[in-house]
Amino acid sequence: MKKSIFIVFATLILASGCVEKTGYYSDGEEDTISLICDNPWASEKIVDDEGNTHYTVYKLEKNGTYIRTFKSIDTDGKVNENSITGRWSFYDPSSKTIYFGDDHYWDIEELTTKKFAVYDRWGEYGQIHMSREYLELTPLK
């Protein structure tokens, strides 16, 4: 019985870590969601030593799901793709941090129709092993 109560209590605490809003969003929140979800975003294309081009495409959906597709184009033009799907939500009421689960966050630095700049963060602030890397995305053309 104590174990069941503990599991329910722990689940409630963990679930409260993400902001899941019910009801209507304000105009500002709707604008942010539209900017994020209305088109796919792509990382910078990188050419390796062998002439292969690599980049990543992120497609976040308004239903809280996402697809991250790693694309590689070899010198013959052959495209290889690997996709990962998952869930996302806003971590804070200001809609400035996206949470992907497993201590993975995007801290939004700039969001416009032409640029989606984030700090791709693993871990919580103050943790010894937290890491942050700047990531700049542009609309997929």
According to DSSP H, which parts of 39-138 are helical? none
Residue corresponding to tokens 């053309």: 141
- The residue range of the domain holding 13 is 2-139
* Confidence at residue 1, expressed as pLDDT on a 0 to 100 scale: 56
* Confidence at residue 114, expressed as pLDDT on a 0 to 100 scale: 97
* Confidence at residue 10, expressed as pLDDT on a 0 to 100 scale: 44
* Confidence at residue 138, expressed as pLDDT on a 0 to 100 scale: 98
Outline where DSSP puts E strands in the chain: 41-42, 46-47, 53-60, 65-73, 79-87, 89-90, 97-101, 104-111, 116-122, 131-139
What is the number of domains present in the chain?
1
* Confidence at residue 2, expressed as pLDDT on a 0 to 100 scale: 52
pLDDT tens for the chain, 141 residues long, are 555 554 544 444 444 334 444 445 666 778 899 999 999 999 999 999 999 999 999 999 999 999 999 999 999 999 999 999 999 999 988 889 999 999 999 999 999 999 999 999 999 989 999 999 999 999 997
CB neighbours of residue 95 within 10 Å:
20
Q: Are 86 and 60 contacting, i.e. CB atoms less than 8 angstroms apart?
A: no
The residues, ordered by sequence, that sit 6+ positions from 9 with a Cβ below 8 Å of its Cβ are none
Read off the pTM.
Answer: 0.78
* Confidence at residue 93, expressed as pLDDT on a 0 to 100 scale: 85
Which CATH number belongs to the domain containing residue 7 in this structure?
2.40.128
